[in-house]
Structure 1
Amino acid sequence: MPDASTLSLRTSFRPGETWTDTNGNRIQAHGGSIIHVDGVYYWYGENKEHSTPGSGIWHWGVRCYSSTDLYNWEDRGLIIPPDENDPTSPLHPEQFLDRPHIMYNSRTGKFVCWIKVMTKHQSEQRSTVLEADSILGPYTIVNSWLRPLGMHAGDFDLVQDPEDGKGYYYFGRVHFEMICADLTDDYTDVTGYYSTHFPRRQPPFVREAPSYFRRDGRHYLITSGTTGYYPNPSEVAVADTYHGPFRVLGDPHPTDESRTSFHTQISSIFKVPGKKDLYITLGDRWVPHYTDDSSRALAAFEAHFAPENEGHVTPIEEFATIDTSQADYVWLPIRFEGEMAYIDWREEWSLDEFE
């Protein structure tokens, strides 16, 4: 372990570089999000430290880090540990647990966490919901193996209305379309009211990884195509209400010649408190070696979207060949022109650049 006393504090973001915590260890918060609680930022996500090829381990729980400046992160440990003893548990390390999202419910006084779990053997995608009294846990399962609205639920985002606290659940109805479903008052289930968006005939065109943000009363979703861990062009859409209808505005990465969203998939978008108009996209670079050769990345993208490959779904076995323990992060600010949201590449940037 590196000597923490010799580590210098970060004063900027350096997208794509290996990001370490205040102890000098690689940060493990993949598919992550940020929640701001009592003046402290908490970054949480999938702990992939043991998810090496051949290990059979998809995750090792949900890990959380805290910070007061968004640059330097203290490891706060596993807020949701894996369940090593029960292979049927959604928290077992061989279950395909992804993309935790947490919201605080002021009505119940609970922190509510939703996770997506794709079963190892049945290839179904379902949701599991947990609750805790503190952002750092301990979390208890309150609703497991949920099929919201009777559907297979893939990548998702949770949204809370800033005025009335109502909750919304954007999720991919796997390989069909995107769903916006109203949450119950306690955020632990859906009410049954929902709307459908972005119907596409099949992968890789079906949208996944919805990342929501709200700006000037408008509702935005940035999504990606369905190509497994391999990156593809993002797509931004806007609506006047949570339930749409959404209008597709286009690729927010127009300067990226590789058409891979700068080799990332966006997992969530964070509005920085105290900043006038700063929204940060939190992206995962699941396959860092693709950046070694941009032509290789472009070729992979073109292969996924070639007509003869329409309808291709990346097999689960292929996921196991990716060393996600070495995945990196790309955090970039959003730039706005009118209603369009753009994401520009920056080798380095800081919060001080924004009002």
Structure 2
Amino acid sequence: MSAKKRLGALAAATALATAALGLAAPAPAAAAPVAFDNGQTITDTSGNLMHAHGGGMLKVGGTYYLVGEQRDGYLFDQVSMYSSTDLVNWTFRNDILSAESDPELSPANIERPKVIYNARTGKYVLWAHKENGVDYGDAEVAVAVSDTVAGDYDYRGSFRPLGYDSRDMTLFVDTDGEAYLISAADVNYDLNVYRLTDDYLGIEELVHVFDGYHREAPAVFQRNGVYFLVTSGATGWNANQTQYATTTNFPEGAWSGWSNAGNATTFGSQPTFVTTVTGTAGTSYLYMGDRWGPQWGGKPMDSEYVWLPIAFPSNTSMSLTWYSTLNIDAAAGTVQGVVGTEDGSPYATKFVNANSGRCIDVPGGSGTDGTLLIQYGCWNGAPQAFTFDPVYPGSKVGAIANTATGKCWDVLDQSTAPGAAVGQWGCWAGGNQRFALRAAANGNHLIVAQHSGLCLEVAGSSTANSAAIVQNTCTGAANQQWDVTGL
């Protein structure tokens, strides 16, 4: 008897014995959680980079489908669709919409695509933010439809919903089958909530306006009868503080005020979607964010994925904690974070000039906006202690805030001119408050203002106390080199 037949006979005999004794057959071993490497690009099962930025997710049967942007530089190339059963290993399925799908789409910007299923019509419907590829003056939504989730979508055109401008957007289907578009309007100062028509292809009515809050990148989910609207501030590609509002009466409200989730840059990400992961052990809620490449001088195609389990301190509150690894068991419905060496937290540091040996200082620890930064003899005082808040954990690009005042370094008046003064201002995540730490000679760093490309230096190569800190053309001279302690 062959080894295979002996094993088969042994298994059969064991099964017969188990049945004879009235014992239950042993349960199959549970699948192990799969590790998700957070804050990275994702490679699909064919070994290619996955491009599903600004995306959304839906589940069909036991399979998750992730749809998102693929760009040619900054312009629309495709809306790409990927599938997975474990939320970690993704297989490319199709470019469901492309620049060749319609003359209107070449050139174009197609951003934040979302797909929902209409149970009434049996159709899959895609909505996205659409621009003309030249400027952002269109501010429209685009609509396409397919009979299958990963098929070629038939482009139905673009329009402004009820005449309102529309930029960052998402879709949400409530438990009663009603579908909604939530989009940034009034040049991103408002968020409008629209009810869709029964076929999900048009707008039925405007049902709520978040007026004047300057929020974008919306994502909506419902948990235990509470609806959460997750948003970012409007600071372009630069990440900022995620905030959310809640209601038990979607969408009309009353809505709560805005509350913070995550740190000041949401760990270098901007929200795009919240996925509900339901399985045998319960339900988890997965925050999905984009760590946009232009934050560090890259392109949208360089962007990375930040996915985080959402915690709920109460039924009407949520929180986000950085984890470098997630253990995801999609069958069980569990998403557990694993703390790594990168925690995304700001860290205290000093900036010592290589030419003078003096430290960057906020004179007198003043909390006044516009206070000019100077150099001064180093001492262990809070006016010389700063926190570097990276746009994502481990990045050398970020905001720099004084521990005494809480104000951020700021190239004043957003000037791009050589010699412009550097001071402090209330933190707002603008490009003139983002600085790159670039390696220089002798283990030092150059500090490069991201909006201007100029380097911070001690004016005039002075070695005296109170000399001003300014930006200037990068030369690598000693007065532009900084020993950055604590990195």
Do residues 281 (structure 1) and 287 (structure 2) align? yes
Deviation at 1:172, TM superposition (A): 1.0
Equivalent position to 1:115, from 128, 146, 168: 128
Name 1:153's counterpart in structure 2. Answer: 166
CA distance in structure 1 between the partners assigned to 2:33 and 2:110 by the alignment: 31
Question: Are 2:250 and 1:236 aligned?
Answer: no
Q: Supply the AA of the counterpart residue of 1:337.
A: P
- The counterpart of 2:53, out of the listed 30, 54, 62, is 30
Report the CA distance shift for 1:263/1:198 in structure 2 as closer, same or farther (over 3 A). Answer: farther
Q: Which amino acid aligns with 1:181?
A: Y
The letter for the 1-side match of 2:178 is: K
SS at match of 1:116: strand
Contact 2:225-2:248 at 8 Å conserved across structures: yes
Q: 1:85 deviation in Å?
A: 7.6
- Say which is worse superposed, 238-247 or 26-35, in terms of deviation: 238-247
- Indicate how the Cα distance of structure 1 residues 148 and 85 shifts in structure 2: closer, same or farther if over 3 A, else same: closer
Q: CA deviation digits over 1:114-161, x for unaligned, max 9?
A: 01112234522101111100001221122x221112100111111111
Partner residue in 1 for 2:182? 170
2:261 aligned partner:
252
1:327 aligns with 2:303: yes
Match among 134, 137, 147 for residue 148 of structure 2? 134
Q: 1:262 aligns with which of 255, 267, 281?
A: 267
Equivalent position to 2:317, from 329, 336, 340: 340
Query: Taking every aligned residue pair, what percent have the same amino acid on both sides?
Result: 32
Residue 285 of structure 1: how far off its partner (Å): 0.5
The structure 1 segments of at least 4 consecutive aligned residues displaced by more than 4 Å after TM superposition are 352-355
Identify the structure with the greater strand proportion: 2
For 1:130 and 1:286, the matched residues in 2 are separated by 26
Q: Which residue of 2 aligns with 1:3?
A: none
Q: Which has the higher contact order (CA 8 A, sep 6+)?
A: 1
Answer whether contact 2:101 2:155 (CA < 8 A) is retained: no
Q: Distance in 2 between matches of 1:192 and 1:32?
A: 25
Normalised by the length of structure 1, the TM-score is: 0.79
2:192 corresponds to: 179
CA–CA distance in structure 2, aligned partners of residues 245 and 119 of structure 1? 36
| Alignment match of 2:222 (pick from 210, 214, 218) | 214
RMSD, aligned CA: 2.0
Aligned counterpart, 2:40: 17
1:314-340 deviation digits (Å, cap 9, x = unpaired): xxxxxxx74111111111110010121
Q: What is the deviation of 1:245? A: 2.6
Q: Distance in 1 between matches of 2:78 and 2:33?
A: 27
Contact kept, 8 Å, 1:10 with 1:71, in 2: the verdict is: no
Shift of 1:59: 2.1
1:85, 1:176 → 2: CA distance? 31
Query: Once structures 1 and 2 are overlaid, which stretch shifts more, 260-269 or 13-22?
Result: 13-22
Matched AA of 2:259: G
Give the counterpart letter for 2:310 in structure 1: I
What is the distance in 2 between the residues matched to 1:284 and 1:98? 12
Give matches, 1:280-299, under 5 Å: 280-287=286-293, 290=296
TM-score, length-normalised on structure 2?
Answer: 0.58
Tell me, yes or no, if structure 1 residue 61 matches structure 2 residue 78: yes
Shift of 1:199: 2.0
CA contact (8 A) 2:75 2:133 kept: no
Kept in 2, the 8 Å contact 1:220–1:237? The answer is yes
Partner-residue secondary structure (3-state), 1:333: strand
Aligned partners of 1:10 and 1:72 also within 8 Å: no
Shift of 1:289: 6.2
Unaligned 5+ residue runs, structure 1?
1-8, 52-56, 201-205, 291-320
Describe how 1:58-97 pairs up with structure 2 within 5 A.
Answer: 58-83=75-100, 86=103, 89=104, 91-92=105-106, 94-97=107-110
Alpha-carbon displacement from aligned partner over 1:19-70 (angstroms, at most 9, x marks no partner): 100111111000011110121111110013x32xxxxx51211011111111
* SS of residue paired to 1:149: helix
Structure number with greater Rg is 2
Deviates more, 1:243-252 or 1:34-43: 243-252
